[in-house]
Amino acid sequence: MSRSNLDLVNECDGFPYHQVDAIAYAQHVATYYHFQVEGFECTIGYLLPSVAEVLRGLPNWELDDDERTITLIGCNNAPERTVAMTATAMAMKATGHFKVLEKWRNEQYGVYGPRQQLLFDLERSATPLFGLVTYGVHMNAYVKSKAGELKIWIPRRAKTKQTYGGMLDNAVAGGISSGEKPYECLVRESSEEASLQEDIVRKNVKAAGTVTYFYIRDERAGGETNLLQPECQYVYDLELPEDVIPKPNDDEVEQFYLWTVGEVRKALARGEFKPNCAMVMLDFFIRHGIITPENEDDYIEIVSRLHRRLEFPTL
Amino acid sequence: MSRSNLDLVNECDGFPYHQVDAIAYAQHVATYYHFQVEGFECTIGYLLPSVAEVLRGLPNWELDDDERTITLIGCNNAPERTVAMTATAMAMKATGHFKVLEKWRNEQYGVYGPRQQLLFDLERSATPLFGLVTYGVHMNAYVKSKAGELKIWIPRRAKTKQTYGGMLDNAVAGGISSGEKPYECLVRESSEEASLQEDIVRKNVKAAGTVTYFYIRDERAGGETNLLQPECQYVYDLELPEDVIPKPNDDEVEQFYLWTVGEVRKALARGEFKPNCAMVMLDFFIRHGIITPENEDDYIEIVSRLHRRLEFPTL
């Protein structure tokens, strides 16, 4: 069944909007425990009740079942909170109940407060259990022929990859570790994932905004379903000379295709792209005048939905 | 006092967000009458109580003071609703109470329902009294020198213009009439406002998304203050050859400057741009890699705020 561009957006940005359906939004929000940090007046993520239940009685956690809050307590600063969060995540892993923790990444993600201050670092694989905002970089690499035709480099993920195996991706994409700058993350990932030389990337790459959305995880993400994953992807464009060929550098990418816009659009409609990569591709098509108000009936909604304002503090 | 980029966003997108401050949002929304249309389950705009009061007792209007709704009734289709809205706007003009109606434009704007169906047309100058979503086109025209330096064409509005007189603008900007396509509107306005030849525009222009925001009108907009103005601007980029010079074609523009990025940024910081034109300029700088995550601390918030998802149906 062919997917419209709005279908692709709905698949990735699945959390209801208060301003569109206040009742559905309120029902969703009332389901979850709101993650708060002692000393800060804001919610930084949503937890499923089944996850919050496991934290009941653990040190550093206070559940309020009436207010539906779960609060990290007894820590005075970011390093102390990081210790408490790490101990919590390791205790959760030790129960063996949480599939997402089986792929422990040994990579710390930063979680931020209302003034962009670091609240704590947390092991990457644990962030969806707490519904925390995570950050990444996504880059489209493309070629313009002398005749002006645009072709886009599209990698296919290895079929053996546990998450979204065999699906299509953006040329370069990766998560940003705590303290890492988006641009430096992008240069590093360009080498690691696509064998692109640092000097070529630095010379040609252009920052082009962000794509933000609120994803409800499904089985393709691996591990528990219905976990909440609000994300911010810093978006980059890289125009490459025709003789620079991205190549897989590890076993995560099967191969790179150089596709016309028409080929990419067909693959999008077939649902072959990893959901958030489809969002980044739509953003690329909109910024480059390929999707236009005249050829896309849902243009206004799609542009807004690609840039969701999240209800949690962000960097 | 120098304005940050986020200050510029706040000035134009001033309506509170539920997801950021639910209390301020609820207080705002409770102040207004919600404009509904018989047969449709949605709110299409917010009216100040002082405006709703004037409609009490007029034919075709039903006020519910408990629910804070004001409903257009007794019409079966778009043409009938257009007749009723026109009669209402003319009756309001006849009272002499509404300054915004003194600049009657004789231009019909389209107002749309939840499935993008036309609900009615309404005289342009009346739309802010009803808090209705309006649509426009904004284009930045720029030149790239052989050395790669970007310069941007910036018009200054005539000092005699009643709205935002003497402020800086985007190269081409205009409202979209009911039934008009954004692209055709843009081509027309490019000729009318900047003397740009149709073939040059059609050949070089690129659609590049939308900028959406929820503006609370201040005195610079002319007429009543605090009227609500949710807007969607279709955004275009036009790269011009160095020998094509935009020229004022009527008395609305005083002159065009060709400015470096640095000159534009200084004028933004001085608050010299019309508020929504500042938004479109920020969007341009973000899409072109001029404002980046590394040089703008509020990058994520700004990108989202430039693309607000409105609570009203849009085209």
Q: Do A19 and B310 touch (CB under 8 A)?
A: yes
How do residues B193-243 score in pLDDT, each as one tens digit?
999 999 999 999 999 999 999 999 999 898 999 999 999 999 999 999 999
| Boundary (domain end) residue, out of A75, A109, A128 | A128
Q: Do B207 and A232 touch (CB under 8 A)?
A: no
For residues A158 and A68, membership in a common domain is answered with no
> Domains in chain B: how many in total?
2
Minimum-distance CB partner of A293 among B17, B182, B292: B182
pLDDT band, residue B126 (cuts 50/70/90): very high
pLDDT at A173: 97
Please say whether the dihedral angle defined by the alpha carbons of residues B113, B118, B120 and B121, taken in this order, is positive or negative. Answer: positive
Min Cα–Cα distance to chain A from B114, Å: 10
pLDDT at B127: 98
For residues B49 and B139, membership in a common domain is answered with no
Q: Do B17 and A305 touch (CB under 8 A)?
A: no
For residues B58 and B126, membership in a common domain is answered with yes
CATH code where residue B99 lies: 3.30.750.160
Average pLDDT for B239-251: 94
Min Cα–Cα distance to chain A from B151, Å: 17
Q: Is residue B22 part of a domain?
A: no
For residues B81 and B141, membership in a common domain is answered with no
For residues B108 and B139, membership in a common domain is answered with no
pLDDT band, residue B107 (cuts 50/70/90): very high
Residues of B with CB under 8 A from a CB of A: 17-20, 116, 181-183, 206-210, 212, 232, 234, 237, 286-289, 292-294, 297, 299-301, 303-311, 314-315
Q: Which helix (H) or strand (E) holds B235?
A: strand B228-239
For residues A71 and A166, membership in a common domain is answered with no
| Boundary (domain end) residue, out of A104, A128, A152 | A128
Q: Is residue A299 part of a domain?
A: yes
For residues B209 and B255, membership in a common domain is answered with yes
Count the neighbouring beta carbons within 10 Å of the beta carbon of residue B194: 26
Backbone angles phi, psi at B111, to 5 degrees: -125, 130
pLDDT band, residue B1 (cuts 50/70/90): confident
* Whether the complex's predicted ipTM surpasses the cut of 0.95: yes
Mean pLDDT, rounded, of chain B: 96
pLDDT at B47: 98
Q: Are strands A69-72 and A33-37 parallel, antiparallel or unpaired?
A: parallel
Average pLDDT for B117-124: 98
DSSP state, A219?
G
pLDDT at A94: 96
Q: Is residue A274 part of a domain?
A: yes
Q: Are B34 and B22 in contact (CB under 8 A)?
A: no
Burial code of A138-172, b = ≥16 C-beta within 10 A, e = fewer?
bbbbbbeeeeeebbbbbbbbbeebeebeebbbbbb
Beta strand ranges found along chain A (DSSP E)? 33-37, 43-47, 61-64, 69-72, 108-112, 118-123, 134-144, 150-157, 172-175, 205-216, 228-239, 253-260
Q: Do B303 and A307 touch (CB under 8 A)?
A: yes
Minimum-distance CB partner of B309 among A287, A304, A311: A304
Minimum-distance CB partner of A17 among B207, B294, B309: B309
**pLDDT below 50 — which residues of chain A?**
none
pLDDT at A312: 98
Q: Do A293 and B116 touch (CB under 8 A)?
A: no
- In terms of residue numbers, what domain contains A105? 32-128
Q: Is residue A21 part of a domain?
A: no
Q: Is residue B79 part of a domain?
A: yes
pLDDT at A162: 82
How do residues B289-302 score in pLDDT, each as one tens digit?
999 999 999 999 99
For residues B45 and B92, membership in a common domain is answered with yes
Average pLDDT for B258-262: 98
pLDDT at A101: 97
Q: Which two tokens stand for residue A145?
A: 């022929």
For residues A288 and A157, membership in a common domain is answered with yes
pLDDT band, residue B146 (cuts 50/70/90): confident
Residues of A in contact with B181 (CB under 8 A): 293-294
pLDDT at A277: 98
Residues of B in contact with A315 (CB under 8 A): 300
For residues B73 and B122, membership in a common domain is answered with yes
How do residues B53-85 score in pLDDT, each as one tens digit?
999 989 999 999 999 999 999 999 999 999 999
- How far is A298 from B112, CA to CA, in rounded Å? 13
